[in-house]
Amino acid sequence: MSKKPVVKKVVSAIQEVLSIQDKKFIDVEMVDVMSQAHNAGLKRSELVFQVAKSTKSLFGVDCTKERWEAIFADFENRLVNTKEILPSTARNYSKEVVQILGAENPPVLKPKGTSKTAKHEQAKSEKQKELDKKYAHESMENLTSNLVKLAGLTDKNSVEKFKEVSSIIIKKTKEKENQAKQNETQAQKDFKVDYTTWFQGLLKTDEGKKELIAFRLNKEVRSVLAKVLN
């Protein structure tokens, strides 16, 4: 006896975004057509594009993030419940439709959220992109040198700058480690973990910042930092 697939549950508040007419449209213009594509062979891509076109028309002019999510959730649920398609396959069909929409000119993309949390995340992401662009061509040596100079300063601007530079150093360090991961020996991996953890720990306390100031003239310590961060 086959195991009944687990159907994705949708919060009722989101489901209310869709009218009866919306759901009927999804059933006929999206679910039925995708079901045909599921068994269509060579004509499959043509039918999937048809579903994408229908999906786009359902969005309307001012589609919200909630409506976008409700449309695809209802689409997937109906594929699973009425066409006996596995949930994982239904999710993949949604992803395929989203990719087609994103490739249009202009691209049709998922709307951004309007909640306080969503706006906060958007602002945070945009700020990070600006920082990445600002420091894209800064060497780790210059960044580390600037960080040491800022470590002993307590005015508001210097403290903010310290946080900014340290976040970039940590981000660049992680990126570089990921790039070199395949070529590293286990000893090298252990070395970087130990000293990166030590360095990040210094950044978190006033005592640690004072140690950084004391270390800045120590060639041996600077050599270790250069090995870890570059």
SS3 191: helix
Evaluate if residue 80 carries a pLDDT over 80.
Answer: yes
Whether 180 and 84 map to the same domain: the answer is no
Query: Residue 161 sits in which domain range?
Result: 117-229
Q: How many domains does the chain have?
A: 2
Whether 93 and 131 map to the same domain: the answer is no
Evaluate if residue 149 carries a pLDDT over 60.
Answer: yes
In a domain, 110, yes or no: no
179-202 tens-digit pLDDT: 776 666 666 666 767 777 777 777
Q: What is the average per-residue pLDDT within 68-72?
A: 92
In a domain, 224, yes or no: yes
Whether 150 and 182 map to the same domain: the answer is yes
Evaluate if residue 172 carries a pLDDT over 90.
Answer: no
CA dist., res. 183 & res. 103, Å (int): 36
Q: Residue 108: CB partners within 8 Å, gap ≥ 6?
A: 56, 59, 101, 102
Whether 134 and 188 map to the same domain: the answer is yes
Band (pLDDT 50/70/90 cuts) for residue 207 is: confident
In a domain, 16, yes or no: yes
118-147 tens-digit pLDDT: 666 667 777 888 888 888 888 888 888 888
Whether 62 and 21 map to the same domain: the answer is yes
Q: What is the pTM of this model?
A: 0.45
60 versus 214: the higher-pLDDT residue is 60
